Copies of this chain bind each other. A is one copy, B any other.
Amino acid sequence: MANLTNNDVFLAFSTYATIVILKMMFMAPLTAYFRITRKAFSNWEDTAMGKKEPEERKKMLQTNPDVERVRRCHQNDIENIIPFVVIGLLYAFTGPDLSTALLHFRVFVGSRFIHTVSYVLALPQPSRGLSWVVGMITTFSMAYRVLTTALLL
């Protein structure tokens, strides 16, 4: 245990993994915000707040472009941040230099914040595409080190 908490790369990983997971979790309240302000819900029981008339409630069972956009951004986070966390953890155990590890963690987490802003604000491409690619390459780079260091098939 002391091994891990005395290890700077593991501490850095813990910090950046927690930050980027919290960013991912933030998409949920953002979705809720858009659902409430746009009156666009998926579940009948969610439409009971305030309005009580069945016709009013039925209208609220709709899809909304802003809600769907945030949900796609959330899904993209799941598809990219979770691989980063898994491979980043294994990478931290391969004993990389702290500066190299920090570079990977900072570039990835930075790219995902830019990705979220690009997606939610619908910035023109290639802002979102580039930030997604940068995150992918960072994870691939760590995966390469894991496989070349730990390969046991």
B-contacting residues of A (Cβ < 8 Å)? 1-5, 7-8, 10-12, 14-19, 21-22, 24-25, 27-28, 42-46, 48-49, 68-69, 72, 74, 78-80, 82-83, 85-87, 90, 93-95, 119, 122-125, 128, 136, 139-140, 143, 146-147, 149-153
Contact = CB atoms under 8 A, between A and B. Distances in A.
Contact of A7 (B1, B119, B146): B1
- Number of chain copies forming the complex: 3
A18 B90 CA distance: 8
A42 B125 CA distance: 13
A17 B90 contact: yes
Contacts of A94: 5
B15 A125 contact: no
Please classify the interface of chain A as helix (H, G, I), strand (E, B), loop, or mixed, using the class held by over half of its residues. helix
B46 A15 contact: no
A68 B128 CA distance: 21
A14 B123 contact: no
Contacts of A95: 1, 5
